[in-house]
Structure 1
Amino acid sequence: MEVFYKKETLKAYLNKLNKQDSVGFVPTMGALHDGHLSLIKRAKKENNIVIVSIFVNPTQFDKQEDLIKYPKDLTKDLKLLEKVNCDVVFAPEANEIYDNRIKAESFVFDGLEDEMEGKHRKGHFDGVGTIVKKLFEITSPDKAYFGEKDFQQLQIIKKVVEKFELPIKIVPCDIYRENDGLAMSSRNVRLIGKSREEAPFIYKTLQKAKEKFEKEPINEIISWVEKEFSKNEILDLEYFEIADETTLKPTKHKKENTRYRAFIAVLADNVRLIDNIALN
Structure 2
Amino acid sequence: MPEIVHTKAELRARVASWKSAGQTVALVPTMGALHAGHLALVKQAGDHADRVVVSIFVNPAQFAPHEDFDRYPRTLDTDSAALSAERVDLIYAPAVEEMYPEGFITRVAPQGGPASGLESDARPHFFGGVTTVVSKLFGQVRPDVAIFGEKDWQQLQVVRRMSRDLDIDVEVVPGPTVREHDGLALSSRNRYLSPEDRAAAPALHRILTESAALIGHGAPIGVVMADAREAITKAGFTVDYVEARHALTLDPIASTHDGPIRLLVAARIGGTRLIDNVPVPRGQD
For the superposition of Structure 1 and Structure 2, which TM-score range results when normalised by the shorter chain?
over 0.9
State the one-letter code of the partner of 2:257: E
Please give the secondary structure, in 2, of the residue aligned with 1:69: coil
- Larger mean CA deviation between 9-18 and 24-33 belongs to 9-18
- Long gaps (5+) in structure 1: none
1:148, 1:173 within 8 Å by CA — same for their partners in 2?
yes
1:23, 1:49 within 8 Å by CA — same for their partners in 2?
yes
TM alignment of 1:26-37, pairs within 5 A: 26-37=28-39
Distance between the aligned counterparts of 2:210 and 2:159, measured in 1? Answer: 29
- Larger mean CA deviation between 111-120 and 125-134 belongs to 111-120
**Alignment correspondent of 2:60:** 58
Between the two proteins, what is the percent identity of the paired residues? 35
Once the two structures are superposed, residues 214-241 of structure 1 have per-residue CA deviations (whole angstroms, 9 ceiling, x without a partner) of 2210111012112212322x32222100
Q: 1:143 to 1:209 in 2, by over 3 A?
A: same
Distance between the aligned counterparts of 1:84 and 1:67, measured in 2? Answer: 28
> Is residue 165 of structure 1 aligned with residue 164 of structure 2?
no
Distance between the aligned counterparts of 1:71 and 1:99, measured in 2? Answer: 23
State the one-letter code of the partner of 1:215: G
1:82, CA displacement in angstroms?
A: 0.6
1:115, 1:249 within 8 Å by CA — same for their partners in 2?
no
Question: With structure 1 as the length reference, what TM-score do the two structures score?
Answer: 0.95
1:247, CA displacement in angstroms?
A: 2.0
TM alignment of 1:15-164, pairs within 5 A: 15-17=16-18, 18-101=20-103, 105-164=107-166
Question: With structure 2 as the length reference, what TM-score do the two structures score?
Answer: 0.93
Distance between the aligned counterparts of 2:154 and 2:104, measured in 1? Answer: 24
Distance between the aligned counterparts of 1:155 and 1:208, measured in 2? Answer: 24
State the one-letter code of the partner of 1:5: H
2:203, 2:232 within 8 Å by CA — same for their partners in 1?
no
1:239, 1:265 within 8 Å by CA — same for their partners in 2?
yes
Please give the secondary structure, in 2, of the residue aligned with 1:237: strand
1:25, 1:50 within 8 Å by CA — same for their partners in 2?
yes
**Alignment correspondent of 1:5:** 6
> Is residue 267 of structure 1 aligned with residue 264 of structure 2?
no
> Is residue 225 of structure 1 aligned with residue 228 of structure 2?
yes
Distance between the aligned counterparts of 1:205 and 1:229, measured in 2? Answer: 7
Aligned equivalent of 1:193, options 174, 195, 210: 195
- Paired residues, what number? 278
- Long gaps (5+) in structure 2: none
2:3, 2:90 within 8 Å by CA — same for their partners in 1?
yes
The CA RMSD measured in Å over matched residues stands at 1.5
Distance between the aligned counterparts of 1:56 and 1:22, measured in 2? Answer: 26
State the one-letter code of the partner of 2:64: D
Once the two structures are superposed, residues 244-273 of structure 1 have per-residue CA deviations (whole angstroms, 9 ceiling, x without a partner) of 11221222x215261111000110112110
**Alignment correspondent of 2:209:** 207
Distance between the aligned counterparts of 2:59 and 2:120, measured in 1? Answer: 17
1:95, 1:101 within 8 Å by CA — same for their partners in 2?
no
Q: 1:120 to 1:104 in 2, by over 3 A?
A: farther
Distance between the aligned counterparts of 1:64 and 1:37, measured in 2? Answer: 30
1:9, CA displacement in angstroms?
A: 1.2
Q: 1:106 to 1:46 in 2, by over 3 A?
A: closer
